[in-house]
Structure formats: structure tokens, C-alpha cells
Chains A and B, each alone.
Chain A
Amino acid sequence: MLHKTIPYPLLLILLIFFIISCEPEIERPAPAYEEARGDADFSVYVALGNSLSAGYADNALYREAQENSFPAVIARKIEYINPDLVFNQALMPKGNGVGFSSGVPLGRLVLNSVSPLELSATPPSEGWQAKVEGPVHNLAVPGATVSDLTRPGLGSTQGNPFFYRFASSEGTTVLQDAIALNPTFFTLWIGNNDILGHALSGGYFVDENNQLAGDAPTPVEEFQESYQQIIDQLTASNANISGAIANLPYVSQIPYFNTVPWNALALDAAQAAQLNAGFEAELRKQVIYQVVEEGARRRIITGTPEQEGLAQRVIYQQAYQQAISQGASPEEAETSASQFVESDQGQAEILALQTNLIENRQPEEVHDLVEQQLNSEPVQDQVNQNFQAALQADQAGQLEVALGEEGAARVEASQTAQLSLLRDLNFFPEFREGPNGFLVGSEHSPTGFRQLTKNEKVLFSAALEGLLSAERLTQFDYILPDRYALDTDEIQLIQTHIDAYNSIIKTIAESNSLALVDMNTFFNQVVAGYTEDGTNFSATYITGNTFSLDGVHLSQKGYALVAERFIETINAYFNSEIPEPNLRNYPAVALP
């Protein structure tokens, strides 16, 4: 019997020890990797992509967020079924990490206050440039486009500073470093930067030097070639490689483009009326000038009592040349020509030419002469004088006095027609009481600017750079430079490119037996409002839980949601059983 061999005091001690060290255990059979992996091989996992795959957030790549990048989250979950998985990342040193704003290295953004919105950048981590020792399984490079991943030298000091940190050599490519790890499974999300640069520069715009500027989107054929190269290199390294590639969301739906409302210009009735009056007055002036100049042009063609019209002179010259070519002497030709001009036929030809020149500006060579005269200094001086006189008369309400009944009527008609036409195309503003669309510069517009309408976007940079401060907005006719807005055409161009890129990605996924993660559809769902596991996600800045402070990249919670989507798709395609992450373990934006 137990109590005979063990003395009582010892039993008592054991009992006390047992009471105090009371820890329950959870017994759970380890998941069987062979079953759980389905048709995929998760032995070696590499992640390829850009800032979205690197865990970039709040405008910088920093350690805390990197640790919860979506590939890291996926890797931790793969580890549950494959405990031998190794997944290293090129983590930044502790601190605020680094990002580049207009080429300047800065640490991440922090939120100082929500209302009014106040963000500030922080100093970058010390030693962020330091090389990180491999092997690195998360080969995502912030800023990379599709072609960058196969570009030799991207990791050199002249290349991408993020890749420089973990590139195996100056001349290597991202793909080569990936293949060196003998991957059996990969995730790839690339292509966003091929269009994002264009969107972030507000589409194309005319810069200070009057040159057309702005990042161009990658041409579709080039996108296809580069993307295909990536997949070819991966499949060449391992014919059985499994992977998941993601398509691109519509970039115009991110908070960066949807936080500043297109119509935050608030006016009362009096201010609206005043602005409309001001703009219409400007237009009227232009119309008056047009009419005055048109009058001058016509007078050049038809002539005045003091000056022969060009039409008549041309007809006279034609007749003169004809006579000369028929053998007449100069005096004879002059007489013949003058007679012709006086004749009925001559008059008819003169009238016809006048009409042609006035209405159609034809024949071109003759009208060039008209233009020459029109642009000559004395004529221009006269036009300006007439214009000033007309302006003065108009201010007194007596435009007919300066331009005649017909001229005045033409001004009214032209003004109404132009106003209506320009307004239809949003090239001319119409202000109302209440919210109004901003005015932005536009190289397509005859007025040089346009008024934003619904579904057009103002970039976050406008707010960040103080262009829409309360002070600025009191200057109501302020015109926002083109690079701070996306109009309907620009948005359409972006969407067309993304659709084309996504079509390529889909085809490549299908022809290479890769899982396609439909991030495009998924982001549309998030924009509409999406709830998962009791948490609400949307594309609203800060409160939407999805995006981080830069309005472009995701928060850690957003990246966890992306990881969940990847895992769902991978499990469905490969019949695997990777567990999903718990979104509540990952933070969204911290509030002050």
C-alpha cells in the first residue's frame, strides 16, 4: 500500500505542491500535414509582391506592421499544419521604419488629432539602410512594378532601397533570390504600382513648364510580358510549384481618393450668385473680344470704305495674272482686271470668295493672308481699342452703341450658347447654395479649368499639403491644380488599365494552374461595407478598420483580412486545410 512506503509528511508536501501547481493542459492531436496540405506543397513558402505584401503601412515600412504582413500571417497559419515551415522577413530595426515622401526618407505617420485631421511624420529608424542577412522568404519590395521583379540591379545602390537591404548581390533580381530558396509554394500580388503612380499624380497634368507630366501607366503588352516572365521563371525552377496570385483592386476606391469630398466648397446663396456673376462676366468679356476680333477679320475680307477687302484684291490679282498669261501687257492686264472686278461675274466671284473665307476659312492659303493681316500690330492695336470701347459701352449697358445691333445680338447669342455648352461639359462652373464641386485645372478644357462633379475625386495630397485649408477655401474661385484631382476620364483610363491587367492575371492563373485570389471583387465588397467575425470593414479613412493613415496601404487588421482571403482561396483551390487567422488579434488604426 502506498501509505506504507511513503511517509505521511512527504504525502502532505506532495499534496500542497499539487494544490498550488494547478495547470490544466489542452490535448489536441497535431494536424496531419499530408492530409491538410491537399494538392499543394507548403514545404517552402516565398512571398512576392510590392508594399502591400511587405506590410507597408502609415506611409512607411516598419517592424511592428511587417510582423503582421499578410504573408507572415499566412505563414504562421501554414505553420500550424506544417511545424517545420521557416519564414523569414527582412525586418526593419525597431522604431518608425522608413518610407519616402518625394524622395525624403521619413518614418511612419502618426495621428495627432482626428478633428481637425492632423498627421505628422516621424523620424526614420536608425540604421534602416543596414543589410539584412538572409534567407529572406518575404521578398516583397515596396514600390516594385511587375517588370521590377525581373530587373537585374534592382538591389544595387542605384536601385530600390528596400530591395537593397536584403538583395543577395548588387546584380541579382528578386526572382533569382526567390528561386534560390527552392520554393514549393508562392503568393504573388503585383501590378498595383503599374497604375498607382499614374493615379497618385492625378492622372496626366500640365506642369509649371507647360509640359505634359504625370506617371504613365505601364502599357498593357509590357505588363503581360513582364508578368509572364515571372511565372515562367518560377515554373522553370520547379515544375510542380503551387501558388496563389491576386488581381488588382480598383485603385480609385482607396481612401486616398475618397477622403476629401469633391464638393466640400460650401457657399451661401449670396456667395454663389456673386461667383456666378463674376465668372459669367469673365466669359462675356471673352465673348465680346471674340466678336470684336471677328468683326475685324470680316472687315479685312470684305473691306471698308477706306480699305479694299482682301477678297476683292485676290480676285483682281487672279484676273490680272490670267490676262498676263494670255499675253497682255501690264497696263492692259490692269485694265482687264479692273473691268472684271466691276463686272457682274467679278462681283459674284468676289462675294463667293468672301463667303467662303468668312464661313469656312477657305481657301487655306488665302485665309492665311487674312490671319497675317489680323495678327499684324496695327490691326491688333485697333482690335484692342475697339474691345476697350466695347467693354466701356457694355458696362454702361449700351453695347449696341459700340458694336451695332447685330454685333450686340451676336454677343448675347454666343454667350448663351457657349455657357450652355461649357456647362454641359463641366468646363464652366455653376455655383449653388450649399455644397459645390471644386474647380480644378484641366488641360482638356478651353477655359483651362473644370468643375468637379459627383464620382470625381480629390486626392488626399490636397489636404495633406494644406491646399484646402479653411483659409484657402475663403478664396472661392480658387482653382486646384490638376494633379490633385481625378476627373471622370482619368478615372475611366485607370479602370480600363486595371481591367486589362486583371484579364492578363486571370489568363495566366488559368494556364498555369495557380489559384486566383480575386482582390478586385473583394475590395468592391469592402467598399460597400463588409462584416467579418463581428468587425466592420469599409474603405472609410480611419474608422473603416481596413486602411492605414496614408490612405493607400492597409492597416494590420486589413492585412489580416487579406491573409484570410488568400487562405480561403488557397484552401478552396488546393483542398488544403490551412486555418484562418482571428482578425481580432490584429489592430486597426490607433486613435489619439
Chain B
Amino acid sequence: MKKSLFTTLVTLFFCGSAWAGGYQVLLQSNRSTAMGNIGVGLRPDPSSINFNPGALALMRQNGIQIGANLIYSNIAFQPFGSNQVYRTENPTGTPFHVFAALGPENSKFKFGLGVYTPYGSSVVWEEGWEGQFNLTELSLQAIFIQPTISYALSNRLSIGAGFIYSIGGVNLQRNIDLPFTDGTYSSATLDGSAPGLGYNLGLYFEPSKRVSLGINYRSRVNMEVEEGTATFNRPEAAAGAIPEQTSFQAALPLPSYLTIGATFRPTQSLMLGVDISRAGWSAYESLRFEYEQPVNNQEVSEEARNYEDSYTFKFGAEYQLLNSLSLRAGAYYDQSPVQEGYLTPETPDSDALGLTAGLGIKVGQRFIADLSFLYINRMQRDNESELEGGLSGTYNAEAVIPGLSLTYQF
């Protein structure tokens, strides 16, 4: 649907969607976020641990960066053939990042440690909504802990690598179509922790004082729930078919992420940058739960997802107004990995356009504060479900994300 500028502005008052395709979160630095989330080719700062470990070695100083964002998001769903609109009551999302980059003076090496959350989702649907048997609540997060090493091959070219240890967890709740005599429904809660391993590689090159280039590959990390706990609240009379508690196995892929990018300084105070990323979402074929005890005569419950690899195109600009103040703006276009007919209540995804703005403020010699504000225009999307028992209707999801990062350089 083409929207007029006016409608877009009006929609502004009703928020923009926050996160990227699927359950990916692109908020690892409020400097980057303010510039349309470019990062791979930027002059390094501690957040390069995530964006491009290769750039770390060319960082002039050491630094520690701490930041967080607040995700105010909501989803609306209207089934086909009905005027009823159901909404989520999502808690505020709080992705965070901590990066520390250290290296001895005059060394070609820089070491870093990053703790950041590149994946997460927190959805709470209103009570009794039409999709209650698909999902009532979901809480998913993955925290990456990444020790990193970077080496400057020359004063213009550096490479880096990080090892990722992921601490993940998932809590998924849904109702079961078995009413109790008081009218409430049976429910299932699946809870599990999922460690995972991966790596992060990068290469950074400054061919001239005006241009910098980067390439980054963060590997796929599998969130494997080995011994999750499935708890069922159901009438005594159904105890034969559904156990009270059993363990389960499940795996969720956090896709690989490959980015190439470049920045260009036409003048000394103006920087323009572009990044193109590809997320390997085709790794997410289905969501499969294997139970230890059969639930409703089934030991395996599997639902197809069939995600596709998706691309994101990011543009950003930074204008150094004063020595202590930079103005930033950017935009990005994010393709959805979810195919037609495969939208689900936990990630009702569609293509999105993000608009960003922000400030960088230098306080004294060592402190930097980066503020960002992200607005995304996510397209309303119809879903004629391909899944048995899947939900068909129209989704629209929106959110607004302010963020703040503080860096201490030394």
C-alpha cells in the first residue's frame, strides 16, 4: 500500500517497529543505530567488537562502552472475516551491550571482551486472543560473550577474530484447547536454557584518509535446548493423554550475519556510510519440539517455518557540528525472512523501513555519550496460513526505541 507523507507522519504517532527481521536485534551501539545501523566500515570504537573485530586493532585509544536501549513495541492482529483486533501487552525490551577494548600502547594487538544481545524477543498477547492456542507469551534472549583479538597488519589494514559463547533462554507459553469446568483453558509452558558457540571475524581497511572499508562475518549460533522443562496445566481427566511435566529438546538457529560496508568523508566534518548485510535465515526451517513423554500421543511436535535468507541495506551520515557534538541520521531497509503464509504470533514479520537520528556528545577528553532514536515503518501484512492450525489474518507491529551508550576512553 502506498502511503502519503501525511499518513506516514500520522503513523509516526503510532510508532515504528523496533527490531530487525525475525528475532534479530540490531542495537549494539547507539552511535551505529543513530546512523541507520551501519558499523562494519566505521572508524573503530569498542562496539567494533561486534560490528567488525578486525577494526579493533586500529582503535587509537582503549575504551569501555556500556549502552542499552528501550524497546517499546506492540503488535496488532485482526483475523480475516472479523472486526476484532487483538493486541499484545509487551513488556519493555531492554537489549544492552558492554564492550571493553584494551591493548598495550604501541602494540599491534588489541584485545576485547564484548557482552551483547543480538537476538531477542518478548511478546505477551492479550488474554483470550484468537491465537491463544498458538502462543500466549514468548520470551527469548541470547547473550553473546565474545572475547576478541585484533591485529593490525599495517596502520591501514587490520584483522580480528572473536570467539562467541552464547547464553540463551527461551520461555514459550500457549493455551491448549481443553477447557476446565470454570471456563479457563489448559496451558503449556516450555522453558529451557540453550548455550551455543560461534565466532566473529572481521577485516578492516583504510585505503585513504577519506575512505574506510570493512567486512564482517558472524557465524551462526545454534541455541540448543537439551533438557527443557515442559509443564502442562490440564484437567485431571486428561492426565492420561497429557503429562503434568516432561522434558523436551528443541533447537533455534541464530543465523549467520555477513556484512560489507564502507564510509566516505567528502569533507572533514561529514561522513557518509553504507552497509549491506545478509542474514542466513534459511537455517530456520522448522520449530521442532521433542518430548520425553508423549503429549497427546505425540512425542514430536513440529511446525514449518521455512525462513529465507534476507538482506538489509543501511545508510548513515554523521556531521560533526562542534568538536564536542556530532549530529547523526540514517535509514535502513530490512527485508523480512518470513515467507508468505508462514507468519506466526511470536514473530509476525514484514519488510521494514527504519529511520534513525541521534547525537554524539563528547564530555571532557574521555567521556562520550551517544543518543539514538529509531523509528521504523513496518508494513501491515496479511497472512493466509500454510500451517495446519495456523493463524490467518492481518498483522501490524510497531515500536519506538530510544537508546543511550556511554563510552570511557583511556
Contact = CB atoms under 8 A, between A and B. Distances in A.
Interface of A: 18-20, 22-28, 77, 79-80, 110-111, 113-115, 533-535, 579-580, 582, 584-585, 587-592
Interface stretch (B10-18, B155-163, B306-314): B10-18
Contacts of B81: 77, 80, 579-580
Interface residues of B, number: 44
B355 interface: no
A579 B394 contact: no
Interface string B142-183: 000000000000000000000000000000000001111111
Contacts of B181: 110-111, 590-592
B75 interface: yes
A23 B177 contact: no
Contacts of B182: 590
Chain A interface, DSSP helix/strand/loop, else mixed: loop
A24 B74 contact: yes
B394 A19 contact: no
A533 B397 CA distance: 26
A18 B180 CA distance: 41
B326 to A, nearest CB: 18
Contacts of A23: 14-15, 74, 76, 87, 398
B72 interface: yes
B304 to A, nearest CB: 14
Interface of B: 1, 12-15, 17, 72-83, 85, 87, 130, 133, 177-183, 235-238, 378, 380, 388-389, 394, 396-400, 402
A110 to B, nearest CB: 7
A415 B30 CA distance: 102
B388 A534 contact: yes
Contacts of A588: 177, 179
Given A23-B14, A587-B183, A592-B236, 17 more contacts: A18-B400, A20-B72, A22-B72, A24-B15, A24-B76, A25-B396, A26-B78, A77-B81, A79-B83, A535-B177, A579-B82, A588-B177, A590-B182, A591-B180, A591-B235, A592-B181, A592-B235
Contacts of A28: 78, 394
Q: Which of B83, B130, B182 has the most CB of A within 10 A?
A: B83
A43 to B, nearest CB: 19
A25 B378 CA distance: 11
B82 A591 contact: no
Contact of A22 (B14, B179, B389): B14
Contacts of B85: 26
| Shortest 5 CB-CB contacts between residues of A and residues of B | A579-B81, A534-B389, A591-B235, A22-B15, A24-B398
A458 to B, nearest CB: 23
Contacts of A113: 237
A114 B389 CA distance: 28
A533 B133 CA distance: 12
Contacts of A533: 389
Contacts of A587: 177, 179, 183
A18 B15 contact: yes
A24 B396 contact: yes
A585 B130 contact: yes
Contacts of A584: 130, 133, 177, 389
